[in-house]
Amino acid sequence: MNDRRHRGQHPRDHALFAPERHPALRRAVEELSWLQTRGYADASALKLVGDRHGLTARQRKAALRCACSDAARDARARKRVELASLAGAPLAIDGFNLLITIESLLSGGFVFVGRDRAHRDLASVHGTYRMVAETGDAVRAVGGRLTTAGVGPVTWYLDRPVSNSGRLRARLLELAAEHGWDWDARLVNNPDHELARSGVTVSTSDAWILDSCEAWVDIVHHVLHEPPRVDARADAARLWLVDLSGP
């Protein structure tokens, strides 16, 4: 278990992403996207826009994760599907990507709605993943939505090189057996490529996978806005959503 026990917020997030900061962040995402549409490299575009709006490193990270070119936005919109349309259909899940985002929400961390309408957090896996107090509830939240929608079979893809990925795989399969979910969990060296070529709908917010896969679903949206609820934290988590998708 993580020593912090929660995925949670960065100590300064309440100030960095307070409502009065949202207009500048939205403008930054809009301007970054404008530059990306015209072929500017991310690094130079981010420095230009970040300096213009006086953004901190963490605010710049949020803006960059939420920005995308017009072509990427439109292509991702065409490939997005809803859970209700996946009844009886297989699903491939970008495991760490989905789980860490929901863990962050349930523990009061900020999550952002990008220009492509995908939900993203600011957490990263730097070679190590540790289960936190919200991990079980996060898995059950996903399982509840997929069961209600009749989705399955479901395959979770986890990065084999990430420390503790085997423990997470065991926990996923344990909960699946407990609840009767038709789940598999695979440890692979490169989940991105496996997901992109899976030939089935993918749950992810990773930009490269979204641009490469055949179809994608935003499970985080369904966890936040549809029953069944995990507990009161699922409702409270909406307070930490920052919508930077633009008009």
Instruction: For 151-169, write each residue's pLDDT tens digit.
Output: 999 999 999 999 999 999 9
Q: Which residues contact 221 (CB under 8 A, 6 or more apart)?
A: 117, 119
Check whether 30 has a pLDDT greater than 90.
yes
State the CB neighbour count (10 A cutoff) for residue 76.
20
Residues 191-208 have pLDDT tens digits of: 999 999 999 999 999 999
| Cα–Cα distance for residue pair 205/55, rounded to 1 Å | 23
Q: Residues 70-91: what's their mean pLDDT?
A: 97
pLDDT of residue 109: 87
- Parallel, antiparallel, or unpaired for β 111-113 and 119-120? antiparallel
Residue reference for tokens 């709605």: 113
Mean pLDDT to the nearest integer, 84-110: 93
Mean local confidence (pLDDT), 57-64? 97
216: enclosing H helix or E strand: strand 216-217
Percent of the chain with pLDDT over 90: 79
22-37 and 57-66 helices, crossing angle to 10°:
50
pLDDT band at 28 (very low <50, low <70, confident <90, very high): very high
Question: Six-digit token pair at 115?
Answer: 């220009």
> Is the pLDDT reported for residue 133 higher than 80?
yes
Residue-averaged pLDDT of the chain: 91
* Residue where the block lists tokens 């789980």: 99
Q: Compute the average pLDDT of residues 169-190.
A: 97
Q: How confident is the model at residue 171 (pLDDT cuts 50, 70, 90)?
A: very high
216-217: strand order across its sheet: 183-188, 154-159, 91-94, 201-203, 216-217
Sheet holding 241-243, edge to edge: 119-120, 111-113, 241-243
Helix axes 135-149, 165-179, angle to 10 degrees: 50
Token pair 């949670």: residue: 8
Q: How many percent of the chain have pLDDT more than 70?
A: 90
What is the length of the chain? 247
**Residue type present at position 5:** R
Given a cut of 60, is residue 2 above it in pLDDT? no
- What is the spatial distance between Cα 241 and Cα 7, in angstroms, rounded to a whole number? 15
The predicted structure's pLDDT at residue 227:
63
Using an 8 Å Cβ cutoff, are 101 and 139 in contact? no
Question: What does each C-alpha distance from 17 to 54, 103, 105, 157, 180 come to in angstroms?
Answer: 13, 19, 15, 31, 40
Does the pLDDT value for residue 235 go beyond 60? Answer: no
pTM of the model: 0.91
Query: Residue 3 above 50 pLDDT?
Result: no
For 199, left (φ over 0), alpha (ψ -120 to 50), or beta? left
Amino acid at site 9: Q
